[in-house]
């Protein structure tokens, strides 16, 4: 036997982050569902005075899901996977244990203050970077703590070679660190003006077109390094573990990783097609977005082919189902993205509901499914309990898949309808519709989207219940399962 | 080489960082100075307009409204002349938005009036019967934050050399001068409004958020 099997991994911090993943998942998705209904039925804007209008809640939804749910998920899995692939327990290092706990609690404080300030309308307006400067500094501290955890654990590792997942965690850390720092460069006005006005107010270091350029260089690549890279880190560990199959190809892993690192940032320009940034940047954004298919599909194919010869597991295990559907949605979304980046398609789709549709087939399908699968896989191993219900998991899978399909299909139709109506002219070249005509036309699709979102949220509650029951009334396991997670019918 | 990197985390991290950062250096940096050059006719925002701009930001109006007109006939017909880089030189932050749930506002000052905005913000369906925009009645109650707006303008002047107090440009002056300027600009807007509370408040020397927001929206041309 391998001597490392005797290591007792310490999952304290992983458990903390697992709970915050679930908590912020519920909060973020519930707000998302509410704002989806608000678009279809505007009276829902007045549930809590000025604090519950669509415009106030929208940044709360995006930040809650991206930085609450997804990042918590990435950290929960880091504090689980990190120890296991580096063959070292956090219990061996009181320092790293302290850092891990500090990381969690500082993050929780940050999130609470972030929610309060966003509710209060304190915002810099930059998408996914709305927090004002004092909070930005706390974000940086939280991020540094995670960095200490990553490189600290790597420093005391027993396994010499870094497993693929670790590559991706390092990339998430470095990528977001760079992007966040540069995009949030701002000058607090209180200090320059000698103490006038609100102390927390700031203005961006960049103006106009430059600000847009830096913002979308950040915004696009927050997608890269949270939604994509962080989640690939998870699937490269959990799919082989759950299925008992080795990764299909090391060479393909290498190609996909370094390709993704190189290409992803170039593609940010596709958010600014037909804007006032220089034309060559728009073209670069467009071209590199198409090149991006190669490394993206490289990872996805590598993951799917890992199941080669073992496809019957897909029928037997809902957990494998979640992971494979996640990868399929990843392929789907990374094909849709490049299509949207083609200039003529972008001219039609930009500013329409196709864009939220595209984001959500990626986030609900790929990120959401993979994060939940990861948490399901970790539960029996961290709590030494059998998963509570397989049939509940099956039902959840189908309810959420239906939700996603309703979501993206309705938003495609809505988006294309909008785009076509905005540009439609009569025989004399006059615009055929007023703006409000185009709003009226898509209300039915807003209803369908909201119902889709609601189904996904219901599925998330089923997931929460299943995990809760597993921990508190699942059958105790004597030893850790080697591959497939045990689950009661 | 790759297998060596995988055993040497420090060099691995350096390699990843260089590969990630490369695109930023090539794409983002070269155009920086050029893009920041203001259009000749463009003037910096007045303090009241900046206060209104802050209301726009705080309410995340940019979540539903863009301020970027693309160079297509359908857009220039609908919204006006397409956007050019030099128009945005005093926009910190930029407010292009990424989604049009409502129409573009880049030149809304050309075709909507103070009166229209007042009705629209108080009850959107009173001017657009099927509007899905929420009402922003609290803007008629809350005070505009003129002091922070002044601090913001001063910061732009001092740190970024935005041409306040330059011949032919927007006047900023001292805090007292700026307050008088704000009052004069607000007076012209309040005179065109009908809400008695907003008017009464202005008589008491208070400027409500709605007044600042309208000043900002009127400045978008």
Secondary element (H or E) of residue A186: strand A186-188
Please report the pLDDT score of residue A5 as a whole number. Answer: 57
Render the burial of A452-486: b for 16+ CB within 10 Å, e for the rest: bbbbbbbbbebbbebbebbbeebeeeeeeeeebbe
Report the 10 Å Cβ neighbour count for A170: 22
Please report the number of interchain residue pairs, chain A to chain B, with beta-carbon separation below 8 angstroms.
Answer: 258
Chain A residue closest in CA terms to B133: A42
Here the contacts of A101-105 (C-beta below 8 Å, separation 24 or greater) are A101/A12, A101/A13, A101/A16, A102/A145, A103/A13, A103/A75, A103/A142, A103/A145, A103/A146, A103/A149, A104/A13, A104/A16, A104/A17, A104/A20, A104/A75
Among A231, A199, A221, A191, which residue's Cα sits nearest to residue A372? A231
For A302-315, what is each residue's pLDDT tens digit? Answer: 999 999 999 999 99
Is ipTM beyond 0.85?
yes
Secondary element (H or E) of residue A177: helix A164-183
Distance from CA of B150 to the nearest CA of A (A): 8
Range 118-137 of B in CB contact (< 8 A) with A:
128, 130-136
User: Is A154's Cβ below 8 Å from some Cβ in B?
Assistant: yes
Choose between A415 and A7: higher pLDDT: A415
Range 21-60 of B in CB contact (< 8 A) with A:
21-24, 27-28, 31-32, 34-36, 54, 57-60
Rounded to whole angstroms, how far apart are CA atoms A298 and A258? 11
Mean pLDDT by groups of 10 residues along chain B of 221 residues: 89 93 80 79 95 96 96 96 94 95 96 96 96 96 96 95 93 95 96 96 96 97 91
**Residue A191 in this model has a pLDDT that exceeds 60:** yes
**Residue A4 in this model has a pLDDT that exceeds 60:** no
Rg, C-alpha atoms of chain B? 22
For A230-274, what is each residue's pLDDT tens digit? Answer: 999 999 999 999 999 999 999 999 999 999 999 998 888 899 999
> Could you give the percent of chain A with pLDDT greater than 70?
99
Range 156-175 of B in CB contact (< 8 A) with A:
156, 158-160, 175
Please report the pLDDT score of residue A268 as a whole number. Answer: 86
Render the burial of B43-80: b for 16+ CB within 10 Å, e for the rest: bbbbbbbbbbbbbbbbbbbbbbbbbbbbeeebbeebbb
Distance from CA of B190 to the nearest CA of A (A): 23
Cross-chain CB nearest to A174 (options B13, B66, B159): B13
The answer to whether A225 and A171 are in contact (CB under 8 A) is yes
Among A266, A240, A311, A303, which residue's Cα sits nearest to residue A85? A240
Residue with tokens 């003006």: A193
Query: What DSSP line would sit under B178-207, residue for residue?
Result: HHHHHHHHHHHHHHT---HHHHHHHHTT--
Please report the pLDDT score of residue B29 as a whole number. Answer: 76
The band of A224, judged by pLDDT with boundaries at 50, 70 and 90, is confident
Q: Is A332 exposed, middle or buried (0-12, 13-18, 19+ CB in 10 A)?
A: middle
pTM confidence score: 0.95
- In the predicted model, what is the mean pLDDT of residues A355-375? 96
Mean pLDDT, rounded, of chain A:
94
Please report the pLDDT score of residue B209 as a whole number. Answer: 97
User: Is A450's Cβ below 8 Å from some Cβ in B?
Assistant: no
Which residues of chain B are within 8 Å of residue A130 when distances are taken between CB atoms? Answer: 60
User: Is A357's Cβ below 8 Å from some Cβ in B?
Assistant: no
For A294-340, what is each residue's pLDDT tens digit? Answer: 999 999 999 999 999 999 999 999 999 999 999 999 999 999 999 99
For A14-37, what is each residue's pLDDT tens digit? Answer: 999 999 999 999 999 999 999 999
Contact B152 A261 (CB under 8 A): no
**Residue A56 in this model has a pLDDT that exceeds 50:** yes
The band of A1, judged by pLDDT with boundaries at 50, 70 and 90, is very low
Range 172-211 of B in CB contact (< 8 A) with A:
175
Among A20, A180, A177, which residue's Cα sits nearest to residue A108? A20
Strand partners, A49: A47
Structure tokens at A56: 């106030």
Rounded to whole angstroms, how far apart are CA atoms A441 and A413? 11
Which residues of chain B are within 8 Å of residue A189 when distances are taken between CB atoms? Answer: 148, 151-152, 154-155
Give the distance from CA A284 to its chain's centroid.
25
Chain A residue closest in CA terms to B154: A193
Cross-chain CB nearest to B7 (options A160, A266, A268): A160
Rounded to whole angstroms, how far apart are CA atoms A128 and A64? 10
Q: Is B154 exposed, middle or buried (0-12, 13-18, 19+ CB in 10 A)?
A: buried
Distance from CA of B194 to the nearest CA of A (A): 22
The three-point CA angle A295-A300-A305 to 5° equals 125
DSSP H helical ranges for A3-158: 12-40, 54-63, 71-86, 94-119, 133-155
CA dihedral A39, A220, A247, A25 (to 10 degrees): -40
């Amino acid at each position: 036997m391998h001597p490392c099997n005797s290591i007792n991994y310490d999952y304290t911090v992983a458990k903390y982050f697992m709970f915050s993943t679930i908590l912020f998942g519920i909060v973020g998705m519930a707000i998302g569902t509410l704002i989806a209904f608000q678009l279809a039925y505007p009276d829902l804007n007045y549930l809590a005075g000025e604090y519950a209008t669509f415009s106030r809640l929208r940044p709360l939804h995006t930040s809650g899901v991206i930085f609450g749910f997804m990042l918590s998920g990435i950290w929960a899995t880091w504090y689980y996977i990190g120890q296991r692939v580096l063959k070292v327990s956090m219990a061996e290092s009181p320092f790293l244990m302290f850092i891990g706990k500090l990381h969690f609690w500082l993050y929780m404080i940050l999130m609470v203050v972030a929610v309060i300030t966003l509710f209060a309308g304190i915002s810099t307006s930059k998408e996914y970077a709305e927090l004002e400067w004092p909070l930005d500094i706390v974000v940086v501290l939280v991020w540094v703590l995670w960095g200490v955890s990553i490189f600290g654990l790597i420093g005391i590792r027993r396994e010499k070679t870094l497993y693929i997942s670790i590559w991706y965690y390092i990339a998430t850390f470095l990528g977001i660190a760079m992007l966040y720092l540069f995009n949030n460069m701002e000058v607090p006005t209180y200090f320059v003006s000698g103490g006038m006005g609100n102390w927390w107010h700031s203005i961006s270091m960049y103006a106009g077109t430059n600000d847009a350029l830096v913002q979308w260089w950040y915004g696009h690549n927050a997608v890269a390094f949270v939604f994509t890279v962080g989640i690939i880190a998870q699937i490269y560990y959990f799919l082989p573990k759950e299925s008992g199959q080795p990764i299909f190809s090391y060479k393909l892993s290498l190609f996909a990783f370094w390709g993704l690192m190189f290409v992803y940032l170039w593609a940010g320009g596709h958010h600014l097609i037909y804007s006032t940034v220089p034309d060559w940047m728009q073209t670069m954004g467009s071209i590199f977005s198409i090149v991006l298919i190669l490394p993206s599909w490289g990872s996805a194919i590598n993951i799917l082919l890992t199941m080669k010869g073992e496809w019957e597991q897909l029928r037997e295990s809902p957990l494998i189902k979640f992971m494979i559907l996640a990868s399929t949605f990843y392929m789907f979304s990374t094909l849709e993205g490049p299509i949207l980046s083609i200039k003529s398609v972008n001219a039609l789709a930009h500013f329409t509901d196709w864009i939220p549709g595209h984001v959500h087939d990626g986030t609900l399908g790929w990120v959401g499914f993979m994060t939940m699968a990861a948490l399901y896989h970790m539960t029996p191993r961290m709590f030494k309990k059998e998963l509570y219900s397989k049939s509940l998991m099956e039902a959840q899978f189908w309810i959420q898949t239906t939700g996603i399909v309703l979501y993206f299909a309705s938003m495609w139709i809505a988006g294309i309808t909008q785009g076509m109506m905005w540009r439609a002219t009569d025989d004399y070249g006059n615009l055929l519709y007023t703006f409000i005509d185009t709003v009226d036309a898509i209300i039915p699709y807003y209803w369908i989207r909201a119902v889709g979102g609601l189904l996904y949220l219901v599925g998330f509650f089923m997931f929460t219940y299943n995990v809760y029951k597993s921990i508190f009334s699942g059958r105790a396991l004597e030893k850790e399962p080697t591959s497939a997670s045990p689950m009661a019918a | 080489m790759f297998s060596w990197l995988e055993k040497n985390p420090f060099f691995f991290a350096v390699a990843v960082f260089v590969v990630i950062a490369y695109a930023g250096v090539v794409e983002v940096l070269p155009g920086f100075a050029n893009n920041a050059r203001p259009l000749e006719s463009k003037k910096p925002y007045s303090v009241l307009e900046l206060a209104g701009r802050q209301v726009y930001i705080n309410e995340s109006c940019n979540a539903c409204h863009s301020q970027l007109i693309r160079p297509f006939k359908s857009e220039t017909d609908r919204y006006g002349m397409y956007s050019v880089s030099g128009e945005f030189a005093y926009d910190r932050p930029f407010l292009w938005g990424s989604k049009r749930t409502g129409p573009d506002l880049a030149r809304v000052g050309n075709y909507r009036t103070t009166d229209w905005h007042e009705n629209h913000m108080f009850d959107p369906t009173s001017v657009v019967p099927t509007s899905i925009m929420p009402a922003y009645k609290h803007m008629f109650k809350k005070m505009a934050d003129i002091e922070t707006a002044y601090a913001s303008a001063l910061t732009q002047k001092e740190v970024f050399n935005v041409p306040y107090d330059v011949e032919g440009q927007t006047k900023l002056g001292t805090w007292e001068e700026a307050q008088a300027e704000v009052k004069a600009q607000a007076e012209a807007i309040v005179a065109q409004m009908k809400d008695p509370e907003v008017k009464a408040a202005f008589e008491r020397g208070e400027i409500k958020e709605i007044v600042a927001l309208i000043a900002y929206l009127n400045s978008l041309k």
